[in-house]
Structure 1
């Protein structure tokens, strides 16, 4: 089969399209014919060496949608439309930048009877499953609450905005560029703010008592300021590292963490584990909502399989303003 292989760290040019053996499924895996996949920062970090030295050829990619080729346990039928995310892809097993992938059965979700194209489906798994885990499991948000999404124009930020609105929350989202405010409003944000590094004061003018919950996509660089926007007993969940390394220098629990607020981190590596079963996820419901045009699409551009290098260049430019996908 054809797959992209990384043999050394570097720019998009190190993504090499090669013929490699197909990954055969073991007893606890499902083999899938990849029809499309979304692009993620995790693949850029792997490719550029930010996730450690590349000591052996690696196939990147942490999500995909496609058709089942073979399930040794018979739980998924041949030809069934499915989605998959995480489960060790690109880390402990080959990733989804390939014509075929074998993944853990616990990380496969059926997408039966959903009238969406492969490219639209490919925009959903990683972004929306992360938003689901952070919002519902990490923050335990409730209808009617106010949510701050710091870093709203990233793919996971847009997924969080649209998903939170579908759950009945009021959403305040941020962007670093005034040109992107309209994009956030199009995606459903009730308020869209330009982020110049400190926004807690602006948030307090919109929500004098503070927001109920915050989703931090930028990361450590803005976390202290985000926390200041919370109400007492409010919570912030960190899901992104767009602003740099995940390190807080000299974090003072009494001065930097307001009274009775909670700070947590949601790693998407939990998806499909016993701690977070994907059988409880809303992915198929979200796909139906998208097909019915009840939520907007976060997909911004689709690339051909032989154009992955250009897709990586666009992703690194921070000009995508949504999800990039590749169709095979």
Structure 2
């Protein structure tokens, strides 16, 4: 009878606002609880709490037995009250993982909250908020795929992340500007639970490096140090923007990644050059309609470089492809389709003839 009363009391506590999602990752319908910290958590996070038994002891809300004192403690605490205590000083740039993130991020988030109390004491945030970080990480080689130790230096003042092939090297092997830097954990892709993928731009092409560290805390500190540097850069670049506007721009995860067939960049540039030069005087556009050139449709498609490969030299621009009165591109183009508003008549693309130029050849003789 007492067991049923305890279970009913816990279930009523779960129905309260704040307790309906996991206190650590936000997963819905948590079925577990830490009766020493006073929070309701999901099954996945309960496994992480078991690894810090000196701080957190967990029980199942529905399967385990609870005594009256434990139920009373849970009633006096709860997720909302404990978040206010353990998350009172979270920096705006710090990444708060969700239930869909990798195990490393969620584990270090829980340890930072309860074990190290980083969000209660601001001085414990120095490893990733100081604006400068230096250390050695394992970096995967471009040719052989072998991981070797490399020296990395992140300088907020210089606005760049650098790495060196040798410890005593004066010049860095690569300079990655914070302006274009992105970091995301990819343990499955890299083959290491602490694997981090860093993406940057070099000569208008997307480059990637893959790194990891044996210490999970070290790797997460690097990740948040990059976010901190980008956050301070964006604050200077956009002084009127709020934190809510800047935080989504710090780093991004890839929703979809894979390989697609792609034609060479020369063909695409040639098609655009012919259309732009021969029809530029006929270009017209009405409000709310697609660009048209003499009855032809111009489909503007932004280049989205794949994380795993290089993009074209126009990666930061808008690629323009057009063909006359057809939804199917001609052979030799990029394979992208035109705007749905273009008519489906089936006529083929025919580039206009280039007028003779005095620089490239002689003018036709006048009769």
Range into which the TM-score falls when normalised by the shorter chain: under 0.3
Instruction: Give the TM-score, by structure 1 length.
Output: 0.25
Q: Between Structure 1 and Structure 2, whose CA radius of gyration is higher?
A: 2
